Amino acid sequence: MSTFDDPHAEIREEVRKLCARFPGEYWRKLDRERGYPTEFVRALTEAGYLSVLIPEEYGGSGLGLSAAAAILETIQAEGCNGAACHAQMYIMGTILRHGSDAQKRRYLPAIARGELRLQAFGVTEPTSGTDTTALRTFARRDGDRYIGNGQKIWTSRAEHSDLMLLLARTTPREQTAKRTEGLSTFIVDMRAALGHGLTIRPIRTMMNHNTCEVFFDEMAVPAENLVGEEGRGFRYVLDGMNAERLLIAAECIGDAKWFTAKSTAYANSRVLFGRPIGQNQGVQFPIARAYAQMRAAELMVREGCARFEAGLPCGEQANMAKLLSAEASWAAAEACVQTHGGFGFAEDYDVERKFRETRLYQVAPISTNLILSYIAEHVLGLPRSY
């Protein structure tokens, strides 16, 4: 499949073996019940895959982003769904880069051991959406704690996480020189806050994603849970976005590989008019085109990961990788449904489930339009459009 030596071939093989224990029927049942893949996430945690980015001194394996990307890509390529836990890999990056020594010692080893789950990220609000700095959740200082009021939406995995990384305003927008100032990042211990100012309400979506609305009503957060400096939280969150984009892009590459394998197998085996349907160019070409798109996107993911690991700027590559991979996985999904004809809609084939799941990545964690705006403004030097 590749002209490059794969430094993560062994990890991929091990992840493949793990995923084989969680076949289509496991995911179909969860999808029907909107259940959480507890056993799958436990298996990944126990095998150490979710803590690969945590440095060894804090109990992780201290691997680079490309190893994390290989893990998530393989999960998707095997028909499983990393969305149940992918954020556990990268949210901790904010604590690692900007947290105090005490926070790192307190949280990172426990996350690495699987005793603490940090996989809820509260940024998006109903009235701010993409316009992040317009968020309204406010945390006011009150002695040795902050008191939070407001609401988040689309806080994924909130019911299956112990901690949440929360972005809230600590200075009203009109009192700051720039709208990116006056936002702060907090580690919220949801176990302590639930029922004491924190309410979580699941949202039923077209795919099984365990995403939620989260409400804060005079929720107390100890001041020691502020990450870094008050007012600089937006910058801290932005810092983590390249890693997030590259990892989601790797998941899309995995999805595209899954769809392509499914399409080719079916096109080779379904015989109509005395020959396999895959002998028709009308069936072959969309599959081949999506494959070419995926391979091009895969190169961009690799370049982005390599630059990230080398400590080089990688905003351009991370954004383009996310854009191209999400488009490639969608093209492969579309070709897969079409190749399967009516069976593409049947639950038992898993195609319709994966089709619903992969569609998300053109909207979240950042929509395609906003990536195009980023490229136009920051790479091509065109005027900011919003």
Ligand X SMILES: Cc1cc2nc3c(=O)[nH]c(=O)nc-3n(C[C@H](O)[C@H](O)[C@H](O)COP(=O)(O)OP(=O)(O)OC[C@H]3O[C@@H](n4cnc5c(N)ncnc54)[C@H](O)[C@@H]3O)c2cc1C
> Under the rule (CB under 6 A), what is the footprint of ligand X?
121-124, 129-130, 154-156, 205, 209, 211, 360, 363-367, 369-370, 373, 386
CA atoms within 13 A of residue 118's CA, in its CB half-sphere:
25
Nearer to ligand X by C-beta: 128 or 284? 128
Cβ 119 to ligand X, closest distance in Å? 9
Q: How many CB atoms lie within 10 A of CB 174?
A: 7
Q: Strand, helix or coil at 195? A: coil
> Torsions phi, psi of 365, nearest 5?
-75, -5
Tokens linked to 128:
């701010």
Cβ 41 to ligand X, closest distance in Å? 15
Cβ 224 to ligand X, closest distance in Å? 23
Task: Indicate if the alpha-carbon torsion angle 204, 209, 213, 216 is positive or negative.
Answer: positive
Task: Indicate if the alpha-carbon torsion angle 285, 287, 290, 295 is positive or negative.
Answer: negative
Cβ 132 to ligand X, closest distance in Å? 8
Cβ 65 to ligand X, closest distance in Å? 19
Cβ 317 to ligand X, closest distance in Å? 20
Please list, in sequence order, all residues whose beta carbon lies within 8 angstroms of the beta carbon of residue 76, skipping any fewer than 6 positions away. Answer: 82, 251, 252, 253, 254, 255, 257, 258
Cβ 211 to ligand X, closest distance in Å? 4
CA atoms within 13 A of residue 341's CA, in its CB half-sphere:
8
Nearer to ligand X by C-beta: 288 or 363? 363
Bridge partners, residue 276, by sequence: 271
Nearer to ligand X by C-beta: 7 or 129? 129
Nearer to ligand X by C-beta: 310 or 380? 380
Q: Which is nearest to 119 in space by CA: 75, 69, 159, 150?
A: 159
Nearer to ligand X by C-beta: 150 or 365? 365
Tracing tokens 């489930």 back to the chain, one arrives at: 353
Q: Strand, helix or coil at 384? A: coil
CB 270 within 8 A of CB 280: no
Nearer to ligand X by C-beta: 240 or 365? 365
Shortest Cβ contact with ligand X: which residue?
129
Nearer to ligand X by C-beta: 11 or 111? 111
Bridge partners, residue 121, by sequence: 165
